[in-house]
Amino acid sequence: MTGARDAIVIGAGVNGLAAAAYLAMAGKRVLVLEARDSEGGLSDVDEFADGVRATRAAHALYALDPSVVRELKLARHGLKFAVRDMPLVGLRNDGKHLVLVRDPYTTARHIVAHSDSDANAWAEFRREWFALARIMRHLWWSANSRNGDDAVARAERVSRMGAGAWLDSWFESDALKATLGFDAHALSPLAAGSALILVWRAAQEMCGLQGAVAFPRGGLRALVDAVAAAACKAGVETRTEAPVADIQVDSEGAVAGVALASGEMIAAPLVLSSLSRRQTLSQPSVRRALGLGEAAQLDRRRSGAQMARVALALDAPPTISGSQVPLTGRFVVAERLDSLTAAHAAAMAGRLPQELTMEVVLPVAADPALAPQGRHLVSVLVGPVPAEIEGGWKAAKSLLAAKVVAQLSRHLPGLSRHLVGIEVLTPDEARHGFGADDAFGGAVDAARLLADWRERVRTPMPGLILCGAAADPVGAVSGRGGRMAACFAFERDARP
């Protein structure tokens, strides 16, 4: 055993670093272990074509926790926003794109082109949606309130609804329903609980704007750097290229430390894992200590549908055909709610959907410094796609890329002519490379959306806490998982 620590954090993603920073600020000796050669996890960048660098998975900030920004003083450590409130744009095959912005009246004017009655219903829907989101916030993230009963009772109907049914009850136009419904992509629009994912989106508050999606200056790498700087200042020690082979368990069944792949053992009474719940609990010693039954249960769950990430490097600025849209928006490609439903059904059956549904962001439009002169980046989240595909993802990877390019060419004319590089992250790479079953908010369990926050971070093993995306109701780059895990660790300490 080498140099005992108070706590070990597995994984140096945004959540892991945030958890470490909180613990270190409270005076703990914390060590962060990262398997890869740099910090950042799924928010890290890779250069894939000719000077163009893209983050691995996350391509915008949906859910950064304002408390984390404030408490870790991220602004002082260099976090700035290039776009604070990205408009949501539905790209339509007929070229009549739908632009949803913050101002309900402007939005209603845009919706009129698709449906009168939807335009009328918009303001009321948004009011109810955002109010519901404020109620649910307490349940999801209030570390000091255990009592979410009232909130649950009021949100009960929507919490048991599918996103499809909920949107159907308000709107008639495919354009609006599909554009909004895409955000529930972690579950099928038919699945009970998927409406709650939309509420979760609206419950976010970045830059003081409820329900905003933001883009940081310098891309997501800038966020990682800011959190890493905060952690470093607090005294966190980080070791890269230190993959963990096992979590060690003492004779009483509590966590004792970790064993690295190199054979080194590091003792600590507290281990915070950024891996998914499934991957954390299937560490060999944990599995053994908790008994086989538990492990069998872990394996029974179907992994189902997830997201894939495709980054396209271009040598000319992308243009969007059809009606005028703001290039700093996030673009949803989903023709109808049924496209999402069908994609989910296909993904569950292990097939690539016929019609892909995706979200597109143009990072260079938001922050020109992100690519060298004359180079551009189109960042695409594709999903739902199968977690395990027939014939394996190795073979399907290029097919997916080709499909994305073909389908996007309809909206981005000349895309294939200007293509200079392409990078794909498949669900199975996210899983094996980053321990992220929950990458991009995939594989959401409807029950998790209503669970008490303690249930999300807790594991059956004393001293082992989840601090990754699994600690949030829907996985995202938020830092919240880290914060909640740290809160839980302090609470545990405080107890006699």
Partner 1 sequence: MRYDAAIIGAGAEGLAAATLLGQAGLRVIVIERGARAGGRCLTREFHPGYRASPYVDDVAEIPAELYWQLDLARHGAVFVPERCSHALWPERCHALNFFASGNGGQARLLAEAAERRRSIAARAVGNGEKRSRLSRAGRAPWPAADWATTALADAVAVESDDEAAHLAALSLAGRAADPYLAGSALHLLGARASAGRLAGGLGRLGDALHAAADAAGVQFAFGLEASDIQRRDGRLSGVGLADGSEIAAQSIISTLDLKRTFLSFFAWNALPRTVVRRVNAFRMAGTTARVLFALSSTPEFAVPQAQDGPIHVAPSLGVLNAAYQDWRLGVVAEHLPVVLNVVSAHDASLAPPDGAVVTATLGAVPFRPFDGAWTHEKRELLRRRARDAAESVSPGFAERIVASEVIAPPDIEDALGATDADLAGGEIAGDQMLGMGPWDEPALPRTPIAGLYLAGSHLTAGAFATCAAGASAARALLADRAKGHRT
Q: Which of 70, 14, 22 is nearest to 43 (CA)?
A: 14
Give yes or no for a contact between 64 and 479, defined as CB atoms under 8 angstroms apart. yes
Q: Min. distance of Cβ 152 from partner 1 in angstroms?
A: 9
Taking the least distance from each CB to partner 1, the nearer of 69 and 450 is 450
322-338 as b/e: b if 16+ CB within 10 A: ebebebbbbbbbbbbbb
In 343-487, beta strands by DSSP E? 358-361, 376-386, 419-425, 464-466
Among 295, 316, 348, 420, binds partner 1 (CB under 8 A): 348
Taking the least distance from each CB to partner 1, the nearer of 188 and 279 is 188
**Per CB under 8 A, does 298 bind partner 1?**
no
**Per CB under 8 A, does 316 bind partner 1?**
no
What one-character DSSP code corresponds to residue 2? B
Contact window for partner 1 (CB under 8 A) among 2-10, 76-84, 148-156, 422-430: 148-156
**Per CB under 8 A, does 160 bind partner 1?**
yes
Angle, CA 267 vertex, CA 234 and CA 23 arms, to 5°: 25
Residues between 193 and 212 with contacts to partner 1, criterion CB under 8 A? 193-194
**Per CB under 8 A, does 158 bind partner 1?**
yes
Angle, CA 410 vertex, CA 408 and CA 412 arms, to 5°: 65
Those residues with Cβ within 8 angstroms of residue 92's Cβ, 6 or more apart along the chain or in another chain? 98, 175, 322, 335
**Per CB under 8 A, does 387 bind partner 1?**
no
**Per CB under 8 A, does 385 bind partner 1?**
no
Give the per-residue contact string, 415-454, with partner 1 (x = CB under 8 A; - = no): ------------------------------xxx-xx----
Per DSSP bridges, beta strands 30-33 and 237-239 are parallel
Contact window for partner 1 (CB under 8 A) among 89-97, 298-306, 395-403, 429-437: 298-306
Instruction: Point out which residues pair with 331 in neighbouring strands.
Output: 89, 360
Sheet holding 358-361, edge to edge: 98-100, 88-90, 330-333, 358-361, 376-386, 305-314, 419-425
Contact window for partner 1 (CB under 8 A) among 12-20, 90-98, 164-172, 239-247: 164-172
Among 36, 96, 102, 154, binds partner 1 (CB under 8 A): 154
3-class DSSP state for residue 220?
A: helix
**Per CB under 8 A, does 131 bind partner 1?**
no
Q: Which amino acid is at 1?
A: M
Number of residues that bind partner 1 (CB under 8 A): 33
Among 103, 149, 252, 299, binds partner 1 (CB under 8 A): 149
Contact residues for partner 1, defined by CB under 8 A = 149, 153-154, 156-162, 165, 168-170, 187-188, 190-194, 300-302, 304, 341, 345, 348, 445-447, 449-450
